[in-house]
Structure 1
Amino acid sequence: MAEEKGGRVIPIIPDPRTLEQRKKDMVHNLEKKHGGKAGEKKKSQAPMRSHSVDWDDEVKRWIDDTHKLWADDMNRMNNGLLWLVPCDEYDLDPMQMFSPLGMFGPGGDIPSILNKMDRQMQALSQMITDQPVISGVFGTLAPQESAHPLDFLKDIYELDEDGKVHFKVRFNAQGYRPEDIQVSASQNRLTVHAKKCSETGTSKASSEFCRTIYLPPTVDVDKFQCHLTNDGILMVEAPVKDPNYQALTFDKERQLGVRPSSAPPISPPPNQKAIVLKPTGKYGATVVQDGNQKRFHVEFPVEAGFDPNNMCVRVESNQIVVSGKHEVTEGSGANKCVTLKEFTRKYAVPETVDPLSVHAQLFNNVMVVEAPMIHPKSK
């Protein structure tokens, strides 16, 4: 990855495969390493040091569900594509986008990044409104993005063929070649800038499109890779820093969530600060101050019988969603009755949180969830 003025430019590698074929190959390679059903072990397979046995089961379940719901996954991937927007409408100096520092400075000022994302979402909203006019310019896909600029965070963490969690974002770059695009990353942000020039007779024309997104601190910016598929999808990926695999799970839509613990961890993963959760006795959602950082704190009672292994905490736009289920068996023989009990609680978050930053713990029958909040936008 090249260095430029304190930032990093990510080389773009052409990929002759389509987005779907690339996903098929990834799942195939992952399955070769983690074959079998959840709960089963290959005799020749030694456990991975960085993964727990529970995580190996999670990977196998993810593979099984992906095969069963392939069409749904592909629809979600296509609908979740990020779109580039015209630079000249929303940048004071569009050429600054060629500098990895851009207008944000070396520290990656988060309020400025979020304000930038808001302006680009406004541009995208206008593009969607004008879609009948511009459909021939932006390829065969239509923008489907959420109106919330940070909604993409709920889908950015996916498995890769190494069986580990990676940060993955995809941009619609139909009509562009690798040499037309520059991708740069620095602290807290990723920027894609595309420029195309055309010449007809004596006239010349150029168009510039760009997109900036917030990067969570969990992303290893030194290990980004970028590929442009045969069907025009720009894929930007990087591993995440030392996730706690013992606490990770996937919901029914293969979105990453956190499994609550029933006891505090003996030691945090390397390079991570130990998080100590404590019940306050006040049910509901509150914001607590932790030094210079604000943390979103949720606390509520849980009915007896719910096991942390069958519970999941995930982030959905500006909500923290906690769900759980367990079976209750009554009677026996011909009078045996099995009832499935489920619950879902949703709490609005004043500021979006990174799904990998969520911590949850069950204290007897009290659930406690906390997560650091992403800085608010500047006014």
Structure 2
Amino acid sequence: MDNYRTEVNIPISRDKRTFEQRRKDMLSNLERSYSKHSRTDIHKNSSSESSIPLSESTIGGSNRHISDWDDEVNRWISETRSKWSEDMKRMRQSMFALEPVDDFDLDHWGNFEPIHSLDDPSTMMEQMERRMESLRQKMGTMSSFGPSHFSGPNSSTMQTSSSRITSSTSHSSGSDPKNLVTKSNVVESTQHTRTVDGETTTTSSHSSSSSNTSGLPGSKINLTNTPGSLITQTSVPCGMMDFLKDAYELGDDGKVHFKVRFDAKDFLPEDIEVTTVDNHLRVHAKKSIKSGNSTTIREFHRSVDLPRSIDHENFQCHMTEDGVLILDAPVKAPDYRTITFQDDRQLGIRPRAESEIKATPNSNKTPVCLTVTGCSEPTIMKDGINGRKLHLEVTVDPIYKADELCVRMDSNRIVITGCQKKTDAKSTSTAEFTQSFEVPETVDPFSVTAQLIGTTLVVEAPLLCTV
């Protein structure tokens, strides 16, 4: 939290290129920097260095080499080229829209009586409900509110040969909230394929289970002041943070950057003010509307929560010729040993092997070994004094190594995948699995720590509502 105390004004640079041309130029520059020819020349040199200035901390003590990141970059470029039209459509549809300030009734909130901390709880709730109802009424009439939500491309699908789907529903009987019943369903399947002389055979298994629990929602399991104790799992809607699954991509320098885009085609750069304060990015714009002899000035605003994994003080802002406002910030000290991009170019994290972590126990660059607690479902745990973190344990088949596993976030789901391919002179076999877990709050993909301890994949990440 201490890093977010200062308000920073971000200057806007005018780019005479369109959004599409700017992105094409970025890909062309990356292709020149990461061409196979240049990489071959680099690796022939015994004192070779990466074409991007990765720090020693990102590659030392790992069995994943600099060339692996070069391969990731080239694969990202190739897939971006092949899905160009789909990506452009998705990015334009998912841009943040600047909303009129008066549509949120902000100017009239002062008409409500102030809420004091010593008020009766029922009185406080009534006042808050009146304010929220006013906001809901305004939001319900806004035709432009829909596009402000982020979602993936409609045509995007994830092909998997194994899945675990967890769903839960709650209902209460009578007026007593203690009668609330939660029903959980888990469906898991695993599929293995083997191809021999062009003939493919498939084996699969399927299982399902359900459970019912009664009690208050989000009931406390065990709460102490000790970090690591289990605490209330309160579900928080994360729709407004869905953009995080697509916010990380390569920048002009070949490193991972955090990028958000705003539809500002109705504004000039001088009409817009961009600032960061605390952990928020704020875009404020003014527009003069002339009607006859009168001029009306309307204000537009949008605020976006920022993850703590990015460098808030080094944002760059560009406005393209066709009115796309692009905010770009580097990621703070990313560990390129663990970063990968999935087929949809969403950021994924490869877990560290237990042996790798224990090999350098005294290094400040290596995370401490996570703890296996035996809990099979996502758990919210205390993290330090005021923090909270997600803790998840998944048992994986012993055939999978750490570098064959991947952890990624998809809105309020954490997705675990594994893929192992074996090829010999006569056959090729592939084993794959996917497990998906609902989590109560959005998790920043770059804050995820994943380790394979024995046959247990342990995943931890701080919750965004904490930072």
TM-score by length of 1: 0.79
- Kindly tell me: are residues 25 and 244 of structure 1, through their superposed partners in 2, closer, same or farther at Cα, counting changes over 3 Å? same
Structure 2 match to 1:358: 448
Offset of residue 144 of structure 1: 6.1
- Kindly tell me: are residues 91 and 156 of structure 1, through their superposed partners in 2, closer, same or farther at Cα, counting changes over 3 Å? farther
Structure 1 match to 2:393: 299
Structure 2 match to 1:145: 150
User: Contact 1:185/1:191 (CA < 8 Å) preserved in 2?
Assistant: yes
Please give the secondary structure, in 1, of the residue aligned with 2:353.
Answer: coil
Structure 2 match to 1:244: 335
Offset of residue 63 of structure 1: 1.4
What is the percent sequence identity of the aligned residues?
Answer: 43
Could you tell me which amino acid in structure 1 is paired with residue 35 of structure 2?
G
Structure 1 match to 2:12: 12
Q: Are residue 322 (structure 1) and residue 322 (structure 2) matched?
A: no
Measure, in 2, the Cα distance between the counterparts of 1:175 and 1:237: 21
Equivalent positions of 1:176-325 (< 5 A) are 176-263=267-354, 265=357, 266=360, 267=363, 269=365, 274-291=367-384, 292-325=386-419
Residue range with higher mean Cα deviation, 177-186 or 292-301:
292-301
Could you tell me which amino acid in structure 1 is paired with residue 34 of structure 2?
H
- Kindly tell me: are residues 126 and 39 of structure 1, through their superposed partners in 2, closer, same or farther at Cα, counting changes over 3 Å? farther
Could you tell me which amino acid in structure 2 is paired with residue 67 of structure 1?
R
Segments of 5+ residues of structure 1 without an aligned counterpart are: 95-118, 132-141
User: Contact 2:310/2:332 (CA < 8 Å) preserved in 1?
Assistant: yes
Please give the secondary structure, in 2, of the residue aligned with 1:252.
Answer: coil
User: Contact 1:351/1:376 (CA < 8 Å) preserved in 2?
Assistant: no
Measure, in 2, the Cα distance between the counterparts of 1:217 and 1:165: 15
Q: Are residue 375 (structure 1) and residue 465 (structure 2) matched?
A: yes
User: Contact 2:105/2:135 (CA < 8 Å) preserved in 1?
Assistant: no
Measure, in 1, the Cα distance between the counterparts of 2:311 and 2:40: 32
| Aligned with residue 142 of structure 2, among 122, 127, 139 | 127
For residues 150-207 of structure 1, give each alpha carbon's deviation from its aligned partner in whole angstroms, at most 9, with x where no partner exists: 1011111111121111111000111110011111112200001111002243121222
| Aligned with residue 57 of structure 1, among 71, 78, 82 | 71
Structure 2 match to 1:46: 49
Cα-Cα RMSD: 3.0
Measure, in 2, the Cα distance between the counterparts of 1:130 and 1:240: 29
User: Contact 1:38/1:61 (CA < 8 Å) preserved in 2?
Assistant: no
Measure, in 1, the Cα distance between the counterparts of 2:26 and 2:136: 31
Offset of residue 275 of structure 1: 4.6
For residues 344-372 of structure 1, give each alpha carbon's deviation from its aligned partner in whole angstroms, at most 9, with x where no partner exists: 11111111111100011112221111111
Offset of residue 126 of structure 1: 4.3
Could you tell me which amino acid in structure 2 is paired with residue 298 of structure 1?
L
Residue range with higher mean Cα deviation, 83-92 or 36-45:
36-45
TM-score by length of 2: 0.65
- Kindly tell me: are residues 254 and 122 of structure 1, through their superposed partners in 2, closer, same or farther at Cα, counting changes over 3 Å? farther
Structure 2 match to 1:163: 254
Offset of residue 145 of structure 1: 3.2
User: Contact 1:39/1:57 (CA < 8 Å) preserved in 2?
Assistant: no
- Kindly tell me: are residues 175 and 39 of structure 1, through their superposed partners in 2, closer, same or farther at Cα, counting changes over 3 Å? same
Please give the secondary structure, in 1, of the residue aligned with 2:243.
Answer: helix
- Kindly tell me: are residues 361 and 218 of structure 1, through their superposed partners in 2, closer, same or farther at Cα, counting changes over 3 Å? same
Measure, in 2, the Cα distance between the counterparts of 1:124 and 1:37: 54
Residue range with higher mean Cα deviation, 38-47 or 222-231:
38-47
Please give the secondary structure, in 2, of the residue aligned with 1:161.
Answer: coil
Offset of residue 56 of structure 1: 2.2
Q: Are residue 340 (structure 1) and residue 435 (structure 2) matched?
A: no
- Kindly tell me: are residues 293 and 126 of structure 1, through their superposed partners in 2, closer, same or farther at Cα, counting changes over 3 Å? same
Please give the secondary structure, in 2, of the residue aligned with 1:185.
Answer: strand
Q: Are residue 32 (structure 1) and residue 123 (structure 2) matched?
A: no
Measure, in 1, the Cα distance between the counterparts of 2:145 and 2:438: 32
- Kindly tell me: are residues 14 and 123 of structure 1, through their superposed partners in 2, closer, same or farther at Cα, counting changes over 3 Å? farther
Residue range with higher mean Cα deviation, 81-90 or 234-243:
81-90
Please give the secondary structure, in 1, of the residue aligned with 2:352.
Answer: coil
Please give the secondary structure, in 1, of the residue aligned with 2:17.
Answer: coil
Offset of residue 39 of structure 1: 8.5
Please give the secondary structure, in 2, of the residue aligned with 1:284.
Answer: coil
User: Contact 2:285/2:301 (CA < 8 Å) preserved in 1?
Assistant: yes
Could you tell me which amino acid in structure 2 is paired with residue 283 of structure 1?
S
Measure, in 1, the Cα distance between the counterparts of 2:275 and 2:28: 30
Offset of residue 68 of structure 1: 1.9
Offset of residue 121 of structure 1: 9.8
Measure, in 1, the Cα distance between the counterparts of 2:274 and 2:305: 14
Offset of residue 307 of structure 1: 2.6
- Kindly tell me: are residues 144 and 293 of structure 1, through their superposed partners in 2, closer, same or farther at Cα, counting changes over 3 Å? closer
User: Contact 1:86/1:123 (CA < 8 Å) preserved in 2?
Assistant: no
User: Contact 2:394/2:457 (CA < 8 Å) preserved in 1?
Assistant: yes
Offset of residue 76 of structure 1: 2.3
Offset of residue 65 of structure 1: 1.5
